[in-house]
Structure 1
Amino acid sequence: YSGSAKQALLWHPALFRLKQHIEQLVGHPFNSCLANLYENGSQAVGWHSDDEPSLRSPQQDNVVIASLSFGATRKFCFKHKFKQEKVELMLHSGQLIVMRGQTQRYWKHALMKSSKITEPRLNLTFRYFYPAQQG
């Protein structure tokens, strides 16, 4: 996502237990976790959709992503790709949001910058990557 290759690591036991708990809450399996540290409000992520083919189930054309926040409260926004709709959320420490169904097809999302935020935020996004399809 950042343009640089990252080496996958084995699950730490505590992170694996957290993954299992989130799977029970969400009703969907996950086989990866992407961790992002935002040191302060000057660090953010721009508008994007997580719509890579490797995230879509071969049986269903949808993506499920569970996003868990720790640390500073930050503004997280959605904007519709085709309509003039926008939704803003304040993500608090310990808050879990789940993007599923057609969210990635019709909406972009971003973590907004804020010069007022001086504390760090850690975000864990749980995803399921499907093997490449033979065609």
Structure 2
Amino acid sequence: MDAERVRCRSALLVFWEQGYEDAGLATLTDAMGISTTSTYAAFGNKEELYSATKTAATMLTVQYAKARPGIKFNAVEPGTTATDMTAGFGIGRSPAESTRAVVRLATLDADGPTGTFSDENGPLPW
């Protein structure tokens, strides 16, 4: 695995464990094993780094789907959800509403899609 993918995966784990707001730049750079200057040079800012980690996670979906055809792997865009991360903006629908797409993909039958990036209306173009 190349160094950039390893760094994105490391940052993804920090965001996953701590959430966007609580994931400090120092923690992210430590996890990635690079300096703050290198982080800014490679990703621009924390938001861009977060976007890169989301892209990496979505692309892993396709790789897992290809490697394990007997298991359904799908990435979900649940829509803007009212969470701790969006609270300051006063936007997003309830988590219960946003989970509909997640539940739909988690309960697919054997002939359902795999390797997709979907929202509540179905597969989205990559």
TM-score normalised by structure 1 residue count: 0.27
User: Which of the pair is proportionally richer in strand?
Assistant: 1
TM-score with structure 2 length normalisation? Answer: 0.28
Between 1 and 2, higher relative CO (CA 8 Å, sep ≥ 6) is seen in 1
Which has more helix, going by share of residues? 2
